[in-house]
Amino acid sequence: MSILKERILRDGQVFPNNVLKVDSFMNHQIDPVVIKEIAQEFYHIFKDQGITKVFTIEASGIAPALATAELFEVPMLFAKKTQPSTLANQERYETDIHSYTKNITSRVIISKQYLTAEDRVLIIDDFLANGEACLGLIDLVEQAGASIAGIGICIEKSFQVGRQKLDEKGIAVHSVCRIASLENQTVQFLDN
Amino acid sequence: MSILKERILRDGQVFPNNVLKVDSFMNHQIDPVVIKEIAQEFYHIFKDQGITKVFTIEASGIAPALATAELFEVPMLFAKKTQPSTLANQERYETDIHSYTKNITSRVIISKQYLTAEDRVLIIDDFLANGEACLGLIDLVEQAGASIAGIGICIEKSFQVGRQKLDEKGIAVHSVCRIASLENQTVQFLDN
C-alpha cells in the first residue's frame, strides 16, 4: 500500500457532503515524504511523454506539482486566483472555475508568456471530484495551443463525475489513490 | 553569484513603486533548480537549530518552504488566507496581514493542531519588504507558544523597513538575496 493511502486511512477525516480532510499531511500541513512518493509515481507513469511543463492551480496543487517538475527537470506553472496588477488583460489567458465544496466561482489566470504551442503539459492537482479545476486548466492549455500529455491526481473521488468527464475527453489520467466511497465516514479505496 | 541573483538580473522586471516581478522563475512559473538552491542555503544556515517545522504563507511561500522542509525531514505548514468550513473558530489561531503591494488586509489562519509549544520553527517567505507577512507569521507562532529558530527569505528589499523590524525583535534572519535599490529600474544588490 502506498504511503498516501496509509496516511489517508490513518489521518484523513471524513466530513458530511463527501468532504475528505487531509490537512495533516497535504492541504495545510504538508509531509514532504508523501509528496515525494506521489511525484515519483507521476514521473514513472509519464516519463516518456516529452513533458516540457508541469501545470497546476494554487494553492494545494503547488506542492505535488513542484516535486514532480523537479523530477522531470522542467518548470512548473501555477494558475493564479488573483489578478496581478503587473499583468495586462491582453497578456493573459483566463477561465472560470467553480468549486462545489466552497460554492464559489473563481476567475483564474495565467500569463501567455509561460504556456505556448510548443509546450507538452502534465496537469497536476491534489483532488479530482467534479473535475471543475482540471477542466479549467485544460481550457487554459487549449487557449495557449499547447498539448496535454496527461493528468496526475493525488486523490480521486471515483464516485463523483470528474474522472468520467476527463476520460470522455480522451485524456490519460493517473490517480495515485482512487476512492470508491466515503459513506458512513469510512474511506473505501477502488482497487487500482 | 547564486543562481537566484543571476535569474533576478536576467529575468526580473522592475515596476513602479519598487515592485520586482520574478514571475518567470518564482511567483508564477517556478524553476525547481532555483528553489532547490535556496532550500540548500537555508538548510546550511539553520541545520543545527533543532528545527521541527517549516512555516510559511500561501501561495508563493509554499515552493521554497516545501523544498526546505524536505531537507530538514520535517513537516511544512502554510498559513491559509481562506477560512475552511471544516475548522471551527476555537480550533484555529488567526492574525491579520496587510499587503502594501495589493493594499488589502487579509485574515490568515492556522489550525492549532499543527503548531504547538514543542515546535521549533523556521519561517520561510519569498519576499521581505515591509515585513507584514513575517510579523503575522511570528504572531501565529507566538500564539501557539512555539519558539522561532529563524527566518529564511528568498529576496529581501533591504531599502524597506521589514528587515530592520525583524532585527529589532532579535530574530535571526537569513536572506539569500538582498537588494539595496530598485531605482532607475535597475537591481542593485547589497554585498552579502
pLDDT of residue B28: 97
User: Once rounded to an integer, what is the mean pLDDT over residues B35-56?
Assistant: 98
Question: Could you tell me the maximum CA-CA distance found in chain A, to the nearest angstrom?
Answer: 49
Q: Is A18 on the interface with B (CB under 8 A)?
A: no
User: Once rounded to an integer, what is the mean pLDDT over residues A76-101?
Assistant: 90
Inter-helix orientation angle A62-72/B62-72, to 10°: 70
Q: Which residues pair with residue B152 across a beta bridge?
A: B124, B174
Percent of chain A clearing pLDDT 90 (strictly above): 89
Nearest-neighbour CA in chain A from B86: distance (Å): 8
* pLDDT digit string, tens, across residues B130-166: 999 999 999 999 999 999 999 999 999 999 999 999 9
Residues in A closer than 8 angstroms to B35, CB to CB, are 66, 70
Q: Is B116 on the interface with A (CB under 8 A)?
A: no
Check the annotation: does A61 bind a ligand.
no
Place of cell 484555529: B92
* pLDDT digit string, tens, across residues A141-167: 999 999 999 999 999 999 999 999 999
A191 pLDDT higher than 80: no
* pLDDT digit string, tens, across residues B90-140: 999 999 999 887 789 999 999 999 999 999 999 999 999 999 999 999 999
Question: How far lies A65's CA from each of A36, A43, A53, A124, in Å?
Answer: 10, 11, 10, 6
Look up the ipTM and state it: 0.96
Choosing among B29, B35, B37, B119, which should be mutated to test the A contact, i.e. which has the most A CBs within 10 A? B29
pLDDT of residue A180: 98
Among A residues 36-65, those touching chain B with beta carbons less than 8 Å apart: 36, 58-59, 62-63
Residue B146: is the preceding peptide bond cis (ω within 30°)?
Answer: no
Q: Which residues pair with residue A108 across a beta bridge?
A: A95
Instruction: With cut-offs at 50, 70 and 90, classify the pLDDT of residue B77.
Output: very high
Question: How far lies A152's CA from each of A19, A71, A127, B108, B171, in Å?
Answer: 20, 14, 10, 29, 40
Nearest to A30 among B75, B82, B85 (CB): B75
Instruction: With cut-offs at 50, 70 and 90, classify the pLDDT of residue A12.
Output: very high
Higher pLDDT, A155 or A89: A155
Q: Is B86 on the interface with A (CB under 8 A)?
A: yes
Q: Is A173 on the interface with B (CB under 8 A)?
A: no
pLDDT of residue A153: 98
